[in-house]
């Protein structure tokens, strides 16, 4: 007979092991970045919301930062606007930034707030523009022309890089025992809206909040080697070698750059893990074996 409630069993088993781990995290901030790919699975999304509520009830201070790349892509497609990426970032013109804000700070943000509410938690959905929480400068990138090998600057439009995080709003929200859910949209010194990569945004939040852990939930088990086997633990130096030899590519590059930045800012450890695994967050924080790839300084 099939188990009618397999995830409830997973959760119960995890909770038996959880107590000593909970003490380790007491009152500590944990930033959880929930990627757009991980969000696609409704059952896993509900488990995710349940985990976030349980963390808050256990005395931790979870902060959720969400992405929504695939969902933005779908909406742009419906509106007949072409998606273009350069160096892993969405080239964001006036029309695109409007859609990005609508999808991220509008529908996805409120959907996650709703999931957490349905699990008995109280979440507050914000973006970086609220109270000038996250200010951004225009992102600059260069690409090397494959034929001439000449480096060229590329204009990404309204793509931002976090410049300053004002933690006072987040402190107030956490003090009120509410769960912040943040969309990676920021404001520039020119008052314009900037689209920030969600991993980068999560790293800036984790750094500013002196988070104990930054968890990056994606759609792969963690960092994989050339044979597609999970690497359970990596140092910063090892990550740099894997980027240089082409093992780490595409969307995993901004994730690793975020990990390195967060560790430099004092975050104790960063974990990249599969958000589609039932109760991935609880497994990582509250069991001995953890999940995904743990990245430490060194």
Ligand X SMILES: CC(=O)N[C@@H](CCC(=O)OP(=O)(O)O)C(=O)O
197 binds, among ligand X, ligand ADP, none (CB under 5 to 8 A by kind): ligand X
- Would you say 88 is a known binding-site residue? no
195 binds, among ligand X, ligand ADP, none (CB under 5 to 8 A by kind): ligand X
184 binds, among ligand ADP, ligand X, none (CB under 5 to 8 A by kind): ligand X
Residue 121 near ligand X by CB under 6 A: no
Near ligand X by CB under 6 A: residue from 52, 54, 55, 159:
159
Nearer to ligand X by C-beta: 58 or 197?
Answer: 197
Binding mask 27-46 for ligand X (x = CB under 6 A): --------xx----------
Residue 270 near ligand X by CB under 6 A: no
Give, to the nearest 10 degrees, the angle between helix 42-57 and helix 109-118. Answer: 60
Residue 90 near ligand X by CB under 6 A: yes
Near ligand X by CB under 6 A: residue from 49, 126, 174, 198:
198
Residue 222 near ligand X by CB under 6 A: no
| Least Cβ distance, residue 189 to ligand ADP (angstroms) | 27
Paired tokens of 71: 């969902």
Q: Applying CB under 6 A, which residues contact ligand ADP? A: 35-38, 67, 69, 218-220, 223-224, 247-252
- Would you say 68 is a known binding-site residue? yes
How far apart CA 232 and CA 224 sit, in angstroms, is: 9
Question: What are the residues binding ligand X (CB under 6 A)?
Answer: 35-36, 67-69, 72, 89-90, 100, 159, 184, 195, 197-198
């Amino acid at each position: 007979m099939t188990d009618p409630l397999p995830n409830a069993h997973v959760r119960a088993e995890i909770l038996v092991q959880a107590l000593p781990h909970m003490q380790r995290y007491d009152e500590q901030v944990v930033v959880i970045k929930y990627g757009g790919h991980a969000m696609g699975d409704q059952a896993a999304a509900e488990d995710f919301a349940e985990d976030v509520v349980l963390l808050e009830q256990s005395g931790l201070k979870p902060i959720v930062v969400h992405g929504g790349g695939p969902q933005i892509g779908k909406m742009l497609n419906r509106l007949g606007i072409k998606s273009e990426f350069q160096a892993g970032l969405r080239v964001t013109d006036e029309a695109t930034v409007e859609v990005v804000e609508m999808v991220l700070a509008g529908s996805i943000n409120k959907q996650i707030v709703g999931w957490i509410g349905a699990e008995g938690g109280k979440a507050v959905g914000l973006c970086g523009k609220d109270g000038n929480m996250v200010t951004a400068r225009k992102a600059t990138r260069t690409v090397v022309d494959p034929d001439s090998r000449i480096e060229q600057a590329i204009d990404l439009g309204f793509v931002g890089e976090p410049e300053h995080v004002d933690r006072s709003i987040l402190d107030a929200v956490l003090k009120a025992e509410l769960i912040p859910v943040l969309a990676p949209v920021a404001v520039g010194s020119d008052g314009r809206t900037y689209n920030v990569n969600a991993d980068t945004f999560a790293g800036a939040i984790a750094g500013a909040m002196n988070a104990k852990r930054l968890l990056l939930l994606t759609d792969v088990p963690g960092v994989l080697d050339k044979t597609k086997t999970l690497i359970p633990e990596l140092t910063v130096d090892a990550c740099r070698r894997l980027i240089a030899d082409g093992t780490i590519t595409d969307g995993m590059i901004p994730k690793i750059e975020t990990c390195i930045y967060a560790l430099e800012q004092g975050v104790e450890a960063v974990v990249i893990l599969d958000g589609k695994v039932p109760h991935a967050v609880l497994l990582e924080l509250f069991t001995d074996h953890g999940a995904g790839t743990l990245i430490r300084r060194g």
